[in-house]
Structure 1
Amino acid sequence: MSDTITITGATGEIGGRTLHMLHEAGANVRAVARRSEQVSHFASEGIDAALATLDDVESLTKAFQGTDQVMLVTAASPKQSVHGRNVVLAARAAGVRAITHLSTADANPESDIPWARAPWHTDQLVQLSGMEWTILRPSAFMQNLTEFAAPIKRGFFPQTTQRGCVAWTDAADIARVATTLLRKGVHTGAEPIITGPELLTSAQIAGTFSKVLGRRVRYVHLPSRVFAGVIRLGGADAWTAEGLRHQFARVVRKGLDHANVQTNDVQEITGRPATTLEAWVTANKEHFTTR
């Protein structure tokens, strides 16, 4: 068995960041890509890549051959639980030693949020797989705040959370945690909850934007169905808008399913503190500034 680490979702936010961090650190990494041009792109970067789709266990099993660890990353979609199952089945068939699943802090089989429900089912399969495992449970990504760039440019932050709070997390911190654990390669059933360093209400988020941008950004509370309509107007489909409505109006607003949990796991695992929202907005001001 080699020491290869294979990553699904390698073209996405967390999977891609982790892949490149590992590669830059000198680890043997392999990306799973579903299009030949993606394989070619990784090759141009000096990164091994295998052509496979999360819909096909056979192609995944081939992609995982010679792999010591798999990082399982699935995108939010109606097929997310099927994709998670397929990765676990393929990893077992390929003789993979250990699997790290990028789950979510609010995983719950009864959740009205599809991308909280699906990871829970994958978590169970990972735990019962017979492989060594780690499950990562991040909170909401700061990067998703760019979806609100247009209204923030106009001076308001529309949300439906009321006084609910979240310890928003920089995707780079999640990737740093994953990279650290995969480089160590020791998996003992840990389930770190990865959060930012501060619990913030939507009003406090708006205040942070005001401070960094040097102009007033105010929180505007919307009824949940109006919020979903705004999301649709922004280009999201009905499935996504309805999931976000439940996520923010029910789970975050009421503090359910670990939505209002804050931990120091980022610093404890990586040795570096988690990124504050103020630092993240400062580094990404161009998204929220009219040119």
Structure 2
Amino acid sequence: MSDIITITGATGEIGGRTLRTLHEAGAEVRAVARRPEQVARFKSEGIDAVLSNLDDVEALTKAFQGSDQVMLVTAASPKQAVHGRNVVLAARAAGVRAITHLSTADANPESDIPWARAPWHTDQLIQLSGMEWTILRPSAFMQNLTEFAAPITRGFFPQTTRRGRVAWTDADDIARVAATVLREGVHVGAEPVITGPELFSARQVADTFSKELGRRVRYIHLPSRVFAGVIRLGGADAWTAEGLRHQFARVVRHGIDHADVLTDDVERITGRPATTLEAWVRANKTRFAR
């Protein structure tokens, strides 16, 4: 049986970090990339790579040939559910033994957040696929706080969550969990919820930035539609801005769909504690420098 671990979304944040963590540990990995220059870059790094996109089940099936495990990572987009379905169909057709899905902690088929609805549907397909599986359920990524770098630099953290709290999670920790699961290769239908070590309200996030940056950063509460407008001004399209409005104004603000979940799964799986928000801000100070 081949030990190849094939990763979709390998050019993205979590998929890429997982791929390189496994590669550095000596695992046999394969990246799925949608552009020839991406394939060439992986190969120049000594990483096997194949050209495919998540719209093409036939090409994906070829990309997965010989793989023991597939890590399924899909980008948030209007086609996310279709892409998830295509990967599951292709993995099954290629005879893949096990699939690990980067889902989300707030997956819900009734959610107003498109990137919470789509993973839920993919999760159901995986559970019915006949393959072995693990579903990873990460909380909000600390790296997404860089989207607020401009206002934080000016001393403000605009949000719409009021007292709602979330356990911000370092993408490196998510990738460490994924790499550990894939390296061990044991899949028994587990659904670890990957979170940081502490729940934070938006005001507490602002206070953490104040402490670590050495200058005051104030939480500014915005009505949800104003918040969406600010997101649009930052360059996001309407689809993304509306999803973020629902995510923060409804789900996080009111603590629904496990938005305020807190676990020790990072340490339990990897043997190392999850990164604190303080440590992450300290390590990324330059992104928020004046």
Rounded to whole Å, the distance in 2 between the matches of 1:36 and 1:129 is: 31
Partner of residue 187, structure 2: 187
1:253-277 Cα offsets, whole Å, 9 max, x none, are 0000000010000000000000000
Q: Report the residue type matching 1:223 in the other structure.
A: P
Question: What stretches of structure 2 of length at least 5 have no aligned partner?
Answer: none
Partner of residue 7, structure 2: 7
1:42 corresponds to 2:42: yes
Partner of residue 97, structure 1: 97
Partner of residue 107, structure 2: 107
Q: How does 1:163-182 map to 2 (within 5 A)?
A: 163-182=163-182
**C-alpha displacement of 1:93:** 0.3
1:235 corresponds to 2:235: yes
Give me the TM-score of the superposition, normalised by structure 1. Answer: 0.99
1:218 corresponds to 2:218: yes
**C-alpha displacement of 1:127:** 0.4
Rounded to whole Å, the distance in 2 between the matches of 1:225 and 1:35 is: 37
> Helix, strand or coil: the match of 1:108?
coil
1:131-178 Cα offsets, whole Å, 9 max, x none, are 000000000000000000000000000000000000000000000000
> Helix, strand or coil: the match of 1:275?
coil
Q: Report the residue type matching 1:255 in the other structure.
A: G
Partner of residue 147, structure 1: 147
1:42-72 Cα offsets, whole Å, 9 max, x none, are 0000000010010000000000000000000
Q: Report the residue type matching 1:82 in the other structure.
A: V
Rounded to whole Å, the distance in 2 between the matches of 1:34 and 1:236 is: 23
Rounded to whole Å, the distance in 1 between the matches of 2:127 and 2:111 is: 20
Partner of residue 273, structure 1: 273
Rounded to whole Å, the distance in 2 between the matches of 1:80 and 1:285 is: 33
> Helix, strand or coil: the match of 2:32?
strand
Partner of residue 18, structure 2: 18
Rounded to whole Å, the distance in 1 between the matches of 2:216 and 2:37 is: 44
Rounded to whole Å, the distance in 2 between the matches of 1:198 and 1:11 is: 29
**C-alpha displacement of 1:197:** 0.1
Give me the TM-score of the superposition, normalised by structure 2. Answer: 1.00
Q: Report the residue type matching 2:159 in the other structure.
A: Q
**C-alpha displacement of 1:201:** 0.1
Partner of residue 207, structure 1: 207
Q: How does 1:110-129 map to 2 (within 5 A)?
A: 110-129=110-129
1:32 corresponds to 2:7: no
CA RMSD of aligned residues (A): 0.3
> Helix, strand or coil: the match of 2:20?
helix
Rounded to whole Å, the distance in 1 between the matches of 2:175 and 2:102 is: 10
Rounded to whole Å, the distance in 1 between the matches of 2:35 and 2:244 is: 29
Q: Could you tell me the percent identity over the aligned residues?
A: 85
Rounded to whole Å, the distance in 2 between the matches of 1:260 and 1:17 is: 25
**C-alpha displacement of 1:221:** 0.1
> Helix, strand or coil: the match of 2:30?
strand
1:87 corresponds to 2:50: no
Runs of 4+ aligned residues of structure 1 deviating over 3 Å after TM superposition are none
Question: What stretches of structure 1 of length at least 5 have no aligned partner?
Answer: none
Rounded to whole Å, the distance in 1 between the matches of 2:136 and 2:261 is: 14
Rounded to whole Å, the distance in 2 between the matches of 1:279 and 1:259 is: 22
> Helix, strand or coil: the match of 1:136?
strand
Give the count of matched residue pairs. 290
